[in-house]
Structure 1
Amino acid sequence: MFQYRQILAYMRSGQSDRQIAKAGLMGRAKASEFRRIATEKGWLSPKRPLPDDHTLAAVLKRPRRPASGSILAPYHEKIKSWHRQGISGTTIHQALVRDHGFSGSYSAVRRYLQQLKNDSPEATVMLDFKPGEVAQVDFGKGPKITDTTTGEVFSTWFFVMTLAFSRHQYAVIVRDQKIQTWLGCHRRAFEFFGGIPKKVVVDNLKSAITRACWRDPRIQRSYAELAEGYGFLVSPCPPNEPRKKGRVEAGVKYIKRSFLPLRRFRSLGDANRQLREWIMESAGNRVHGTTRQKPLSLFAEAEKHLLKPLPAKVPELAVWSAHKLHGNCHLQFEKCFYSAPYRLVRKQLWVKATETTVKIFHDHELVAVHPRKHRPGEKSTIIGHLPPDAVAYLMRDPQWCLRQAGVTGPNCLRLIESLFAHRVLDNLRAAQGVIGLAGKYGQVRLEAACRRALFFDSPKYITVKTILAKGLDQLPDDPVPTPLPATYTGKGRFQRTCSRVVTTSSSKEDSICIPCPN
């Protein structure tokens, strides 16, 4: 409008359209059209004041083409609804072509979406934070590192915590985003700053928030314990609203663009050493684009002393997770196995794992404590957690059976040894059964039953059990049969010679008789 007012002044002074065009203010055709409008409105009269900007804009504004003339007019409501849902322009165009027979190009959809954005622009508010009030936390994709010692290639992540007031930040490169990593990074960040902010703004990652919600988010139990121990409030961002923690988002981008390029890392430790030096030198001593001060200086002068002091006793880093007890009386946590009482099989249990211990709870009651295992497949079993039958089998091993048999008597010991001497069959249960008979019949009778079983060369559990059940252990041992004298010539009642056996055979086939000495 200032340019139009200047051209009006030239026209009032008698300048022609050609002279205005030579001055570079406006083309001849456009100047001619503008002169016609100015003459109609009476703006060229020197006696009248120049029109103000609002009057000029109202007269010179081009009329907008009515929306009804657009090829998208039949779909305006649908497009507006999809646009409010955050659906991209390409997806909207594909849906119109696929489902509604739209024949226009994507450019028409893009122009209409841009018009919608211009008609209802989104405005934001720059938040201000007091010193020591807020820290913002985020993860960002880190570099792939090749360990020069082992040759291992692995992916990494940046953990970044930025103080919202001073923009001083803590960053570390980690290998995963697990809960224990998340908790440990918070502890090291607080120790790096030498204090704790009143509030920590986080995204909705599973290590922090188990249920993302605008009004009623649900915090991860392990993270809640950490926040309670250090005394800070957790403030999760609403779903799909990362701009609520824009300062740490900018911090992650700054690390990726300024620290990461043109660097080589020999190992994870070497990468973190370089990152720490960069934070304390280049990043901490740059002039920040918003605060116009050095983050490290602003932190030391105005924020550090306002952070909450670190607790005298460092809070325990514990990971909570829910598990069901398997039928083998063990639950699996981090690829390791831990036992719990057999009466809780198939029930929901809570595991609290620290760096050294694993505690198992049921209905807020501590039911088991184990040392923490780290190698996959390791097992920690408390015998008392197993069913009585299984405990009896595990406790009564062969050595136990032999000791108990020795207490009962030498015959019992011989019988148990013969059971274990079997070359094929595992007779542990049979030996346990024999030893167990002493509880019902007593050691004296068991010793006698074992002596009788050995006498008849039948060292078996069923033999000993039958002898005791029928009271045969009370009978004297049968005498050893006396062999017949060599001069005995008598014949038994049913004794027959070979010839009689052959001749009385019912078979009609020829037979061969082997001579018999009788």
Structure 2
Amino acid sequence: MPQHDVPEQQLHRREQVAGRRFDVADVVDVLQHWQAGRSDRQLSRSFGMGRNRVARITSAAETAGLTPGGAPLARQEWEQRVPELFRGRAVPRPGDGQDELSHVHDSIVAGLTASTVTTVWQRMHDEAGIHASLSTFRRYVRQNIRMVRPEDVTVRKEVTPPGEVAEVDYGRLGRWFDALDDRWRTVQAFVMTLAYSRMVFVQPVLSCDQSSWVAAHVAAFAFFGGVPAQIRLDNLKTGVLRADIYDPQLNRAYAELAVHSGTLLDPCRAGKPKDKPRVERNMPYVRDSFWSGRDFDRVRAMQDGAIRWCGGTAAHRPHGDLPGTVGEIFRRLEHPALRPLPADPFEIAHWATATVHPDCRVQVQRRFYSVPWTNVGKRVHVRVGEKLAHVYDGGTLIKTHLLRPGERHYLDLADYPEQKVAFLQRTPAWCRRRAAELGPAVQALVDELLAGPHPLACLRQAQGIVRLADVHPAAELDAACARALVADGSLRTVRNILALPRSAEETPHSSSAGAFLHGQQVLLTGTPS
């Protein structure tokens, strides 16, 4: 058939056959037996290879000047000659990469002194033309050069006793459309896993603040019907303020929960998910089995669905390490080992750090609380519970407020300096006390104003008289009040007296007009009628 009449697919097949690659190991085996004097037919039958393929291999060797029956070559010498005989077409057999890498062992050792395993493999693959895969290269390095590194070793932990450890963490579930607020929101999942039975508790939340974190723990203890002896947690700010494996600083509300429940909080190392592997492994399972493909109309329905899923689907799955399901092992072995729930319910409180402002108040969660004025400028700790708010200076309680529904401002005038409180109040008692300090006449006038049957009706006048001491000396005010007592004793009279010049106030009034000594007739003499 002419070349132009051959179908394109058949031509492509011919090109593939013509450019077929040879496995180095197969070629070496054929050439070693060919050099020993075996014919092409014998080689074809022994190796299960086509006679034409054997003929191409042996002809390439003869072209290179090799002859059967000549001086025998070692296998390593043949492995070095084969790539030259079939340049670009001889590749190592899969699994024979170890032999290929052994020839460049010294180069690998030299490269690893300055570069990583991946970098050395990439450079030798590009520059030296090695065909071993990266996994084969890593395996060769482990077995022949670096052996096993300490960081490559995984230590399997001992089986945790029942009721001993629970692992907790937050994990992202996904996006959820809130129909009430008409917007998309991110839903997080609080997950607590009991280490022995693998029993899991899940609570979807929209906020990851400390109140939600503590409330989720309380709900988890109620779901399990007991408290584990130890809780391993991540270094979340809702639980841990300062991450330190030897001396972690826990959130104060979270620490209160631990004391109330009788459990130990054990923060894990930062960036070490294997410290709490069971809850980390449960996160994808929760996201896939509980969350994916489901729709909820409100948060409460979401949380109720999570409780049903925990007691149903999650509890019915096989344990893996122990015979039986997760729920069976929990009910039979772990639940009896949990510590009993506290007799008194836990009060979920919010702790915050605030600065006392010049108005003697601190602000926490959009509420304002007054504290003693001597603490202005200090950083104090505020604990806001369900009924009471406590303010601490270090470990000392300095103020307590009784909370009332709907109220935002909690002011106690006793927290302010005495002179400031007196000025703000201006009560009748304060007016009398201040008047006594200004003088006896001021005190008498104020007592007269407030002595009537309706003292509050004259309270403004008494306050005005006392305030005159801000612009007039006390002696002048007392003298003016003494003169006003002779008259009507009002605030206006006291102001008018103080407004007069000192000369007019002290000199008696006299007229400069002449006296009528000759009588009225003489005065009017000569006046036109």
Smaller-chain TM-score range?
A: 0.5 to 0.7
1:433 maps to 467
Deviations 1:317-370 (A, max 9, x none): 333333321111111222322111001111232222212221012242221112
Describe the SS at the equivalent of 1:156: strand
2:360 equivalent to 1:329: yes
1:354 maps to 385
Flag structure 2 segments of 5+ consecutive residues without an equivalent. Answer: 1-25, 62-71, 78-94, 121-125, 436-444, 511-519, 525-529
1:409 maps to 449
- Superposed, 1:286-305 pairs within 5 Å as 286-291=317-322, 293-305=324-336
Q: CA deviation at 1:63?
A: 3.9
1:237 maps to 268
In structure 2, give the amino acid aligned to 1:18: S
Counterpart of 2:401 (choices 370, 377, 381) is 370
In structure 2, give the amino acid aligned to 1:172: Q
Q: CA deviation at 1:246?
A: 0.9
Alignment check: 8 A CA contact 2:449 2:462 kept: no
Q: CA deviation at 1:146?
A: 2.8
Alignment check: 8 A CA contact 1:356 1:372 kept: yes
TM-score by length of 2: 0.63
Going from structure 1 to structure 2, the CA distance change for 1:339 and 1:418 (only over 3 Å counts) comes to: closer
Distance 2:509 2:105 in 1: 119
Distance 1:453 1:65 in 2: 125
Deviations 1:453-488 (A, max 9, x none): 979995676x56689xx9x99x99989xxxxxxx99
2:160 maps to 129
Q: CA deviation at 1:185?
A: 1.1
1:511 maps to none
2:48 maps to 22
TM-score by length of 1: 0.64
1:314 maps to 345
2:174 maps to 143
2:411 maps to 381
Describe the SS at the equivalent of 2:174: coil
Aligned residues: 419
Bigger mean CA offset, 257-266 vs 451-460: 451-460
Going from structure 1 to structure 2, the CA distance change for 1:449 and 1:370 (only over 3 Å counts) comes to: farther
Going from structure 1 to structure 2, the CA distance change for 1:39 and 1:383 (only over 3 Å counts) comes to: closer
Deviations 1:398-450 (A, max 9, x none): 99979x98852399999x98997xxxxxx99745525999xx88x99776554
2:216 maps to 185
- Superposed, 1:202-351 pairs within 5 Å as 202-291=233-322, 293-351=324-382
Alignment check: 8 A CA contact 1:406 1:412 kept: no
Going from structure 1 to structure 2, the CA distance change for 1:363 and 1:244 (only over 3 Å counts) comes to: closer
Q: CA deviation at 1:62?
A: 3.8
Q: CA deviation at 1:263?
A: 0.9
User: Percentage identity across aligned positions?
Assistant: 24
Alignment check: 8 A CA contact 2:484 2:494 kept: no
In structure 2, give the amino acid aligned to 1:251: N
Deviations 1:13-45 (A, max 9, x none): x99653454399xx979x999x987999xxxxx
Alignment check: 8 A CA contact 1:329 1:340 kept: yes
Flag structure 1 segments of 5+ consecutive residues without an equivalent. Answer: 41-56, 84-88, 94-102, 421-426, 480-486, 492-518
Q: CA deviation at 1:262?
A: 1.0
RMSD (Å) for aligned C-alpha atoms: 5.6
Alignment check: 8 A CA contact 1:325 1:344 kept: yes
In structure 2, give the amino acid aligned to 1:409: L
Distance 2:74 2:103 in 1: 21
Deviations 1:142-161 (A, max 9, x none): 33333334435432210000
- Superposed, 1:452-463 pairs within 5 Å as none
